[in-house]
Amino acid sequence: MVRGINRQIIEIIDTGNMYYERALLVVRPEYAGVQRAVLEREAKQVLNDMQSPSCLKKSSMFLYWFLRLGAAAVVGAIISALLLYV
């Protein structure tokens, strides 16, 4: 049996996130009377703070550290070569 549900939901269509097309956020009952503009601003802030899915984050972090350590190795090799031949 389904009873009446009294919930306010905010739907964000343009999330600004490349992974998610739209978001549905349920407003707590004690904040249902807050102005809609304030709720939408807070909802967009929550979506902006959201990060990428964990598997994508791990692969991009691997690439980041690989490039960073590779660059450090190249710089170290150049400095060693300059000190050795000078």
48-84 per-position pLDDT tens digit: 777 666 655 566 677 888 899 999 999 999 999 999 8
Query: For the chain, what are the domain ranges?
Result: 1-50, 52-86
Q: Band the pLDDT of 34: cuts 50, 70, 90.
A: confident
Q: Which of 1-5, 8-12, 32-36, 59-63 has the lowest mean pLDDT?
A: 1-5
Look at 70 and 17; give whichever has higher pLDDT.
70
User: pTM value?
Assistant: 0.49
Give the DSSP per-residue string, 16-82. S-SS-S-EEEEEPGGGTTS-HHHHHHHHHHHHHH----HHHHHHHHHHHHHHHHHHHHHHHHHHHHH
- Averaged confidence pLDDT in the chain: 80
